[in-house]
Amino acid sequence: MSESTIVKNFKTYKGGLIKLFGEEIAERIIEALGGEEKVSNATYANSKDSGAAYNGAFIKNVVRLTKTANELNNVLPEEIRANVTSINKVCMLSQIAKVQMFKENDNNYEIINRGILYKFETLSGALRTGERSTLIASNAGVVFSEVEYEAMRAIDNLSVDDNYTKFFSSPLSLVIRQAYEIINLANKVTAE
């Protein structure tokens, strides 16, 4: 991805955060993640075969996630559609922890032979992506409803063995989870 596209995508992402939460909270989120440059260049995944392991992939995929989730929501019957503001809020924030979780891999063997372009950063606490993202956003001043909190963790609960999540998730969580799976599939197809 070109540097100019990375810069343009960051402006779009930051503008979306400001629109949803105001400038002060948007700045706190960006600073908590390591600053504008780190957020701009963050990867979305760690392995080459994911199709989303490159500089700038995080924001590109968050924008795709938001667009896909809104399109899926529009397909639902009107009486069960999720709140659009909540969709945008959760899509913009549910994976921000990835900015902190990944760093460039310095092990040439793993890069060349296993396609692991980024490795996991050592972080405190055994928190999954959605949990850590919720913590970061909350500490920056974002307030979540119960349904939004559930949806922030929706990608952490992709297990088909979790009947509680499977049968009692909100439409918001359903939309987020499906959009996440769709963009991951699209990324993998383009990587092949």
In the predicted model, what is the mean pLDDT of residues 79-85?
Answer: 96
Amino acid 116: pLDDT: 95
Distance CA 151, CA 173 (A): 4
Share of the chain above pLDDT 70, in %: 94
Average pLDDT, the chain: 93
- State yes or no: pLDDT of 70 exceeds 80: yes
Structure tokens at 152: 């922030």
Contact call for residues 69 and 95 (beta carbons, < 8 A): no
> How many CB atoms are located within 10 Å of the residue 19 CB?
12
Amino acid 163: pLDDT: 59
> pLDDT grade, residue 169 (50/70/90)?
confident
Q: Among 22-31, 155-164, 175-184, which is the least confidently predicted range?
A: 155-164
- State yes or no: pLDDT of 159 exceeds 60: no
Give the alpha-carbon dihedral of 52, 53, 55, 57, to 10 degrees: 20
pLDDT for 29-63, tens place per residue?
Answer: 999 999 999 999 999 999 999 999 999 999 999 99
